[in-house]
A and B are shown apart, each in its own frame.
Chain A
Amino acid sequence: MSAVLAVPQDIRNRVHDLIYESCLLLNEERWDDFLDLCDSETFRYVIGNYSPEIGKEQFWLDIDFAGMKHMFEMLPKHNTDHAQLTRQSTVYRLEYAPENEVITATTGFTIYRTHEDGGYAHLDGGSTCLYVVGQYIDRVALRPDGDKLTQRTVWTNTRQLDIGSHYPF
């Protein structure tokens, strides 16, 4: 709680704007614009969860900026369900290390999935279901020329991801 209060209001606003914008850009599948919010040198994107079945944390995606860029570039070459993912997020907690100009932000999210042609488009196309529940743990570097995401850890409570996704969360 004290960490939240300690973050100056202008910085809070900047970080909130950055995280919400990142969600909107992903919703809109504007991959290049999303990458513009990420630090090209240090960015790391991780999706993980805890599996009680094997008693371990597991990581289902762990890539850097270049890896993410490749992933986006290859999307048109792959078959996909074309499901639209809609992220609803709330930034809950900011922890500030002023000496490093770094913020760690914890954001709760849900992702809804609107089906298109992954099944019977005639029947299911346009229907929506709740897909994933989890948190983003973001590290944001505060910079005069524009704040950047240096790491996003997507920690999901949901472990059944149905047929999976070629899109990041």
Chain B
Amino acid sequence: MSWKSVCKLDDLPLGGLTVVTIDGVEVLLARSDKCVTAMPPLCPHMKEPLVNGVFDGENLTCLKHLWQWDVKTGESLGEAEKPLCQYQLRVTDGHVDINMAEELKYEYEA
């Protein structure tokens, strides 16, 4: 386990997407009143930055080809053909940490 301090929970906007860099690795954070999750920043499909996508508090949609996921679980919805990877995340005393044992990456076709 390699827990890294990210930020205060209140630094993350409600209903928003935020990219942070931890030890040189970019991580996308999504926060709503239902969940807080951390994931790799690029779409598993064609590397589109997911921070440019739409997050409605539950579902995240990449705007390039409209792949969509349940952010709480990372499960695919609709057009998506691959699930989202997620980092382990914990909130302690209003502070967010994530487990960065290794950088999560998707396999892309050439």
A and B: direct contact (Cβ < 8 Å)?
Answer: no
Q: Residues on B close to A: CB < 8 A?
A: none
